[in-house]
Structure 1
Amino acid sequence: MSEYLAEYLGTLMLVLLGDGVVANVVLNKTKGQNSGWIVITTGWALAVAIPVFIFGPISGAHINPAVTIAMASIGNFAWSKVPGFIAAQMAGAFTGAILVWLHYRPHFDATPDKAAKLGVFCTAPAIRDWSSNMIGEFIGTFVLVFGILGVANTKMAGGISPLVVGAIVFVVGLTLGGTTGYAINPARDLGPRLAHAVLPIKDKGSSDWGYSWLPVVMPILGGLVGALIYNIIF
């Protein structure tokens, strides 16, 4: 399997499972409706860990443009591969979001809340305060990238590291995710937002393009700074 196909499939699985848990919690008449933030953060953590288990040996399982760019910025990844990785990640995220809609389509139809439908696909701030929202996505992705690099300093038993990566995502969601929904991944937000825009979702609202730049730009900046500071310290 090529690295690019691994990134496509890994990001597809990430979004299928991650957006899937959000759909299960927020859409009407699901078995998991209203099960809460702990279920969402747990689902997202495992949605990251599982693709890392599967595709890590092939591509490194970046499954996140912010991680790819951060790794390239400190010489841990070839810049020549960055465009292909990001394209594969975006395509995988878009495809994964379509699969979530297909899986939960009757529940989308049964949900009148337009914001809830959009929230299955992409993030939105709890309070729309641009400076605060920018800081939140920056800090969340800083912790993600700095944490991924940092935990590699600890010797681990074989097969444990994907769970540790999932744990980083879990703790970011639990502690820092309540402000913006912790995109911390441009593909995870933009790919599904594009899917929301083009899919024939019953009574859908706006895709909130005015906010869409923030969960793309700020994770990239946060990841870059996290990687550069890690590189300076270690």
Structure 2
Amino acid sequence: MPLPFWQTVLWELLGTGTLILLGAGVVANTTLRGTLGHGTNWLLITLAWGFAVFTGASVAAPSGAHLNPAVTAGLLCAGQLPWSAVPAYLLGQFTGAFLGAVLCWLAYKPHFDAHDEPRATLGIFATGPAIRALPWNLVTEVIGTFVLVFWVLTSPAAKAADSSGVPQFGNSALGYAAVAFVVIAVGASLGGPTGYAINPARDLGPRLAYAVLPIRGKGDPDWPYAWVPVLGPLLGATAAGLLYRTLPV
């Protein structure tokens, strides 16, 4: 049975908020001056984002733990989710992402105030390209998200899902930890060009929080780039969902 609208919103909000709090938190820990993790490397960031997904997904298990409009879109295109369920998932995901970013800022407030390059703090909240070439940045996000969503669709979890869109994550004893491994793999392998948003809410919600929060000396939210980590994941997810429908499964 599908959850009522507001229960889906609540669980997706809590799960996505947890995801962003922990994911943005590790970037803050490695970036901001004076933290105990300052100066650590990309491997720590990819590992922490993976386990942030595991933690957020575990929290949001009652709703199926999409946490990501791309996952919602992929399940929709694969015929695993009705259109009527989509608004609740999107509302919870984008709201949770915004609130998780706000909580990250609160947790690191003294370090934001003391950071010696305050204009370079956008990367704590949102993604950005290593080489700015928007069409190719879009391609990178499409490919990375395709890998994630296609795995979700072909995993035992999605195959066990019913029309409510609530996957029953199997993957033997791994449960939601299996998703973490996929996110770590995508980040370590494909995250270098764009920072691997692979999730429109993960980028847009925190980017909006960065724009409105009173962060000392902050830089520009870079809205001209913001469409890439939104459109790219949706295109990758749509491709994964449509391909899945053609397979003999």
TM-score > 0.5 by shorter chain: yes
1:154-165, aligned counterparts within 5 Å? 156-158=171-173, 160-165=174-179
**TM-score with structure 2 setting the length:** 0.89
Q: Is 1:45–1:170's contact at 8 Å kept on the other side of the alignment? A: yes
Contact 2:8 / 2:88 at 8 angstroms: preserved in 1?
no
* Cα offset, 1:230, TM superposition: 2.1
Does residue 169 of structure 1 match 2:183? yes
Question: 1:35 and 1:199 mapped to 2: Cα distance?
Answer: 26
Aligned-residue RMSD, C-alpha: 1.5
Given that 1:26 and 1:116 are in contact with CA atoms closer than 8 Å, whether structure 2 keeps it comes out as: no
TM-score by length of 1: 0.95
Percent identity for Structure 1 against Structure 2: 49
Q: Report if the CA contact (8 A) 1:27-1:116 is conserved.
A: no
1:75 is aligned with what amino acid? G
Q: Hey, what's the Cα distance between the residues in 2 that align with 1:63 and 1:155?
A: 18
**Aligned residue number for residue 195 of structure 2:** 181
Aligned position for 1:130? 134
Match of 2:214?
200
Deviations 1:161-217 (A, max 9, x none): 201111000000000001100000000000000000000000001000000011001
Q: Secondary structure at the match of 2:181?
A: helix
> For residues 213 and 155 of structure 1, do their structure 2 counterparts lie closer, same or farther at Cα, with a shift above 3 Å needed?
closer
1:69 CA drift (Å): 1.4
User: Which structure carries more helix by proportion?
Assistant: 1
Match of 2:153 in 1: 149
Could you list the runs of 5+ residues in structure 2 that have no partner in the other structure? 160-168
**TM superposition outliers: structure 1 runs of 4+ over 3 Å:** 153-156
> Contact 2:23–2:52 (CA<8 Å) still a contact in 1?
yes
Distance in 1 between residues matched to 2:189 and 2:234, nearest whole Å? 20
User: 1:4-39: per-residue Cα shift (whole Å, max 9, x none)?
Assistant: 110010000000000001100111110001111000
Q: How many residues align?
A: 232
Conserved 8 A contact 2:120-2:218 = no
Q: Letter of the 1:50 partner, please give it.
A: T
Structure 1 spans left out of the alignment, 5+ residues: none
What CA distance in whole angstroms lies between the structure 2 residues aligned with 1:155 and 1:53? 13
Q: Which residue of 1 aligns with 2:35?
A: 30
